[in-house]
Chain A
Amino acid sequence: MSIVTKTFIRRADREDLDLLVRWMEDEDFQYFLYGDPARSPRLIRDQIVGYLSKTAGSPIPGSVYFIVDSPNGPIGMISLQNISWRNRSCNLDVYISPQHRGHLSTGINVYRALEYAFDELNMHRVSAIIYAFNQPSWRLLEFLGAKREVTLKDHILRNGIWHDVFVYGLLKQEFNVWREKYAEQSKEVTLQKMIESMKCYLEKNL
């Protein structure tokens, strides 16, 4: 059986700014990713503007921001941050808006982003720091072949409760083994299919 999705990932644009700020102000975003509810929205906005302008068009960007888009509008963001061109490594962050979580499309889009990291940016390693309570995220990464390398016990405090923090690592050769193993199931998840979805979206919206 093959899997198909109408979602696609594209480079984040300045036009996405308001949406990104809205997501970053979301309680869940702070709970799962960067937990500082006291951060000023203006600073968040400035930070995102900085990210978007820094990555635009650079042949060796320090980070890459993708929007997970769909015919019904953007549903999330995937970023490759802290790119080290010397070590060929980066950190993966994923945010999917609440109503779209738990769908297969998240996995497909993370797979796409990893494919971009390994095949296009020639990364050797992708890391992810995930809180233990964020089980769907670390289970997805484990499914994609990543290994839990570091466990920091009681390392983060959320709503008065201590949680462990995991560091995951996925090496290029491990990703390739995974890709080989699931080649049959993922044969419809092609770049061509994504381009078709994107074309459909552009025709409708422009």
Chain B
Amino acid sequence: MINKEHAIIRTSDLFDAKHLLRFYASENMYGALLDGKREPILPNQSELEELLQNKDATQSFYAVEDKEGNLHGFIVLKGINQEALFGEIILLFDNQTYLTNSPLIHDALEFIENKAFRQLHLKKLVTTCIDEEEPLKNFLQQHLYILAGIMREVLFARGKWHNLETWVKLSSTTN
């Protein structure tokens, strides 16, 4: 368990499944929750419990809590390519957390970037989001992530096409 200034960060466990399910069932769409074919999925709680017990997931899936122990979201570091020294991060917080500029997400990002850039010596982090995820995009921009491009009309959901954005941060841009 990592005790940051505002957040407590710990590896996820099966008891976080119902919190994770909230994001899947949310009215907002999250690019982070699309599968490999960029399709939205709707797992049930027991499937998420299984996922969170998976060895790989337990090593890369972190729950972010406030000091009172309330779970606010998740941060994930996955798809690490040791040869090309990059990894993918997933930030899973509701829009309100970004809009209120909660210090929890800043702590969470600092933690995951430190792990990626300093401990694992990766040189790049990549993340994707749907073009409608404005609060997340603003947050990424604020933290020196750069837009690498937009894949057009990748996802069909809620009766229309959505673009998928790829954002990148280089280790050289961190302090």
Residue-wise, chain B 75-104 has the 8 Å CB interface mask toward A (1 for contact) of: 000000001101000000000000000000
Whether B39 pairs with A86 at a CB distance below 8 angstroms is yes
A89 CB–B CB distance under 8 Å: yes
Interface range on chain B (Cβ under 8 Å from partner): 20 to 34
Question: Which of the segments B59-67, B107-115, B133-141, B148-156 contacts the partner chain?
Answer: B148-156
**Nearest A residue (CB) for B86:** A155
Interface range on chain A (Cβ under 8 Å from partner): 20 to 34
Question: Which of the segments A92-100, A143-151, A180-188, A197-205 contacts the partner chain?
Answer: A143-151
Main SS class of interface, B: strand
Whether B152 pairs with A82 at a CB distance below 8 angstroms is no
Whether A86 pairs with B148 at a CB distance below 8 angstroms is no
Whether B38 pairs with A151 at a CB distance below 8 angstroms is no
Q: If the complex has contacts A87-B156, A155-B86, A156-B84, are A169 and B36 also in contact, measured as CB distance less than 8 A?
A: no
Q: Which of B117-175 contact A (CB under 8 A)?
A: 123-124, 126, 148-156, 161, 166, 168
- How many angstroms from the CA of A125 to the CA of B162 in the assembled complex? 12
Q: If the complex has contacts A87-B37, A149-B150, are A157 and B84 also in contact, measured as CB distance less than 8 A?
A: yes
A79 CB–B CB distance under 8 Å: no
Q: For residue B126, which residues in chain A have a CB less than 8 angstroms away from its CB?
A: 152
Q: Which of B1-43 contact A (CB under 8 A)?
A: 36-39
A167 CB–B CB distance under 8 Å: yes
Q: For residue B148, which residues in chain A have a CB less than 8 angstroms away from its CB?
A: 150-153
- Show the binding face of A for B, using Cβ within 8 Å: 82-84, 86-89, 124-125, 127, 147-157, 167, 169, 171
